[in-house]
Amino acid sequence: MAFTGRVAGTPVVVIRLPGGLRTTYEPVRASVPVGARVAAGRTVGTLVGALPHCAAPCLHWGLLRDAVYLDPLLLLPPSLRRAGPARLLPTGGRGGAGRERAAPPVSR
Which helix (H) or strand (E) segment holds residue 60: the answer is strand 60-65
**Residue 95 belongs to a domain:** yes
**Residue 107 belongs to a domain:** no
Q: Residue 99: is its pLDDT beyond 70?
A: no
**Residue 108 belongs to a domain:** no
Mean pLDDT of 89-95: 54
Residues 14/37/35/88 CA torsion (nearest 10 deg): 20
Q: What is the mean pLDDT of the chain?
A: 80
**Residue 40 belongs to a domain:** yes
**Residue 76 belongs to a domain:** yes
**Residue 58 belongs to a domain:** yes
- The sign of the CA dihedral 12, 60, 72, 76 is positive
SS3 of the chain: helix, strand, coil, percent, to 5: 10, 35, 55
- Residue-wise pLDDT for 51-74, tens only, equals 787 788 888 899 999 999 998 888
| Cα of 37 vs its chain's centroid, Å | 16
Domain with 82, as residue range(s), is 3-102
**Residue 12 belongs to a domain:** yes
Total structural domains within the chain: 1
Report pTM.
0.73
**Residue 55 belongs to a domain:** yes
